[in-house]
Chain A
Amino acid sequence: MATKKGVEVSIGIGDAVKLANADVVAAYPITPQTHIVEHLAELVAEGELDAAFIPVESEHSAMSACLGSAATGARTFTATAGQGLELMHEVLYVASAMRLPIVMAVANRALSAPLSVWGDHSDVMAVRDTGWIQIFTENGQEVIDNVLCAFRVAEDRQVLLPVMIHLDGFHLSHMIETILFPEQSEVDQFLPPNQYPFPLDPSKPVTMGDFSPPVLYTEARWAQEVNLRASKEVVLQVWKEFGAKFGRNYSPVECYKCENRKVLLLTMGSFTETAMTAIDELEKQGRTDVGLVHLRLWRPFPFEELRQAVKDADVLIVLDRALSYGGPGGPVCSEVKSALYNLKKKPKVVSFVGGMGGRDITVAGFETIVNRGIEIAQKGSEQEFEIFGVRE
């Protein structure tokens, strides 16, 4: 029987890692991820989680210790946010290229300067190309469920890639929600023990981390790309199994009142729920032409699912929570545009950037975005993107 608990999402993550019976946690504290790490330290200290908790001296070392741990065949977990994610940037590429299964929860936080501990997606967008499987979550239940799925996906013999679970800093990490925690026996059935195929072991010595001259580098990169793309199948399959077992279904791109609606909003993360409320409000006002599409699987990018979801719309308004300076503005929007470019029939895509550094967007704000988005789609705009909520 699943246990229903009212917990802060960060604490819930620690509990999920405990259910997953992780072996090693190497983490460094940074707002707003600290509660995740603190609770894990508590669980280990109380003997409730039989794991090594390594209080490393920086995020770079946190991810590095995770490399060593995963390479030895241990189930490895860490968490970070914002600047921490940036500090471990080079190590992220290594983790995915060396095919080490590591699960990391990222409490998405704005990047300095100016210093901001509050939530946005600038840290996520900075690590797009690192080769990790990346999943956005919208509420506490999704976070817990996807942490469990993440271990399963990462350690799958066909995948062997690290996974990031993104949750909005403060807006999700610090929310107290009612979450259903599966029973230990159910999790044990769903999540087999880690059987990393090439652990560092004197009885069967392997060499990891060879350098590659130009003659083989392209082949190495292509092998990694092929495998990252192929991991989508495993993600879908694991989600399907999770749905069958626990009754909660996830998919790469989800639709909220989007069928046959000509104007679509696209969001990721916790804003999705506010957007859903906005869609409902608009409906009440008689606006039945507006729907919502929300992105859950960020990497590998779900090209087919996205195209399928939006191809019949006239307008697609993408809300980014990060800003790519001097470029297309909204990173997700630019990827969406690129995904739709070759379609014969496609919506006009409008880019909005807002909610940065922890700034909230209310239901009314979303209604404004929708209306302005429609206007831009009709009349065009001189700007590449629209910045929402700036006081001018």
Chain B
Amino acid sequence: MANKKPDKKTEAEMTWKDLEVGLIATEPGSARQYKTGAWRSQRPTYEFSKCIKCGLCSIFCPEGCISQNEQGCFEADMYYCKGCGICDKECPTRVITMVEEEE
């Protein structure tokens, strides 16, 4: 999901001329490039055999990073997942278990 273009300037490199008029951000959703996954200290693990594909976890994820994988089960995108554990608690069939993040 990383959309970071290699030739784009970092904030520290930007000059006053690089700024848009009134600091307007013209690229909708550009914050997608920020890797919030680096924050987590625990990560969800899955027992997909129990998954009934209800989608409740994806509704309750504050990041909105849970979507269906190839099997149709709901899985979090580790680029964004902050490891809050809400999906673990809300899953009706106990598919998800939070474990300590090792990275």
Contact = CB atoms under 8 A, between A and B. Distances in A.
Verify that A and B bind, or say they do not.
yes
Contacts of B23: 97-98, 208-210, 212, 220
Contacts, number: 50
A226 B26 CA distance: 22
B11 A215 contact: yes
A244 interface: no
With a 10 A CB-CB cut-off, give which of B11, B22, B24, B26 has the most chain A CB atoms. Answer: B22
B19 A98 contact: no
A231 B24 CA distance: 20
B21 interface: yes
Given A215-B11, A215-B12, A220 B19 contact: yes
A98 B14 CA distance: 19
Contacts of A219: 14-16, 18-19
Interface string A49-67: 0000000000000000000
Interface string A95-111: 00111100000000000
A1 interface: no
A207 B19 contact: no
Contacts of B28: 205-207
B11 A207 contact: no
Interface string A230-241: 000000000000
Contact of B14 (A99, A208, A216): A216
Contact of A210 (B17, B21, B25): B25
B11 A208 contact: no
Contact of B24 (A206, A215, A226): A206
A160 B25 CA distance: 16
Contact of B17 (A97, A198, A216, A223): A223
Interface residues of B, number: 15
A207 B16 contact: no
A154 B18 CA distance: 23
B16 A226 contact: yes
B19 A160 contact: no
B24 A100 contact: no
Of all A-B residue pairs in the complex, the 10 with the closest CB atoms, nearest first, are: A99-B22, A219-B16, A207-B25, A223-B16, A98-B22, A222-B16, A205-B28, A215-B11, A99-B21, A198-B24
15 contacts: A97-B23, A98-B23, A160-B21, A198-B21, A206-B26, A208-B25, A209-B23, A215-B11, A215-B12, A219-B14, A219-B18, A220-B16, A220-B19, A220-B23, A226-B16
A186 B84 CA distance: 64
A197 B19 contact: no
A216 B13 CA distance: 9
Contacts of B11: 213, 215-216
A346 B18 CA distance: 40
A228 B11 CA distance: 24
B59 to A, nearest CB: 24
B24 A207 contact: yes
A363 to B, nearest CB: 47
A216 B17 CA distance: 11
Interface in B23-54: 23-26, 28
Given A205-B28, A206-B25, A219-B14, 10 more contacts: A197-B21, A198-B26, A206-B28, A208-B23, A210-B23, A213-B11, A215-B12, A216-B14, A219-B15, A226-B16
A208 B15 contact: no
Nearest to A212: B23
A154 B64 CA distance: 41
Contacts of A218: 16
A220 B25 CA distance: 13
Contacts of A98: 22-23
B32 to A, nearest CB: 13
A160 B14 contact: no
A309 B28 CA distance: 50
Contacts of A220: 16, 19, 23
Interface in A14-69: none
A223 B16 CA distance: 6
Interface in B1-20: 11-12, 14-19
A223 B19 contact: yes
